[in-house]
Copies of this chain bind each other. A is one copy, B any other.
């Protein structure tokens, strides 16, 4: 309570899932490139994530940053993810260190490791009886340049933790959809993240103690091939949803 959190990319889906559920639990400062429509549960800052000075200003008096801003398109071209996701994320870490922010929670993505889903492994890997698991210790294996940019953001976080003692959590977010999991889409069901599990995960990420961590951000799906162990252990993440419960 009273913790001051800067959330970047506040207009995006992950941002909405977090803010809607945790509106009263933190003192929010919401940053987005575009003005936010409607009333917001906190101060609003309109700035581009690659603008060093604006980002630094937005961090004044802030305890923790939830960094979601970036080009969210898996098919985004290189120039965009280079600027918005890689350079933008470095801007955030650098500003955090300069202004004395203590932790950064970074929205990484399933696309940082999606090339583990080889032709050999799919679609079995999306099925409950398959035993293949990723646990966060594996090398990145991106399925697209967007995924490359997210892996780079994770490595930047590793550096800023080691060099500047910043607490950094990278959440490889699965497939966030509201209400129910993707229908007729095994991959989406494997990595579904419900809105309430998403908000709970980010709440835990702002409360728990850690140095540098990579965790998977999905619900407790029967079909999962991402391990939730690290998220449970380090964060106390306790998901309530499972895409299998929506099979009817």
Residues in chain A within 8 A of chain B (CB atoms): 78, 82, 86-87, 90, 94, 115, 137, 139-145, 147-148, 151-152, 155-156, 158-159, 162-163, 214
> What are 7 A-B pairs with beta-carbon distances under 8 A?
A86-B86, A86-B152, A115-B159, A140-B158, A142-B155, A148-B159, A155-B155
Chain B residues with CB below 8 A from A159, complex form: 115, 141-145, 147-148
Pick from B78, B94, B141, B162: contact of A90, CB under 8 Å: B78
Give how many copies assemble into the complex: 2
Give A152 to B163 CA distance when docked, in angstroms.
Answer: 18
Residue of B nearest to A112 (CB): B155
Does more than half of chain A's interface fall in helix, strand or loop, or is it mixed?
A: helix
B78→A82 contact, CB < 8 A: no
CB-CB nearest 7 A-B residue pairs: A115-B162, A152-B152, A151-B155, A142-B159, A140-B155, A148-B159, A148-B155
Give A156 to B141 CA distance when docked, in angstroms.
Answer: 9
In angstroms, how far is the closest chain B Cβ from the Cβ of A61? 25
Chain B residues with CB below 8 A from A82, complex form: 82, 86-87, 90
Chain B residues with CB below 8 A from A86, complex form: 82, 86, 152
Residue of B nearest to A83 (CB): B82
Pick from B78, B137, B141, B152: contact of A139, CB under 8 Å: B137
B162→A156 contact, CB < 8 A: no
Give A115 to B94 CA distance when docked, in angstroms.
Answer: 18
Chain B residues with CB below 8 A from A78, complex form: 90, 94
B142→A139 contact, CB < 8 A: no
In angstroms, how far is the closest chain B Cβ from the Cβ of A168? 12
Give A151 to B156 CA distance when docked, in angstroms.
Answer: 10
A115/B163 contact (C-beta < 8 A), A137-B139, A139-B139 known: yes
Give A90 to B162 CA distance when docked, in angstroms.
Answer: 26
Residue of B nearest to A118 (CB): B162
Residue of B nearest to A114 (CB): B162
Give A201 to B159 CA distance when docked, in angstroms.
Answer: 29
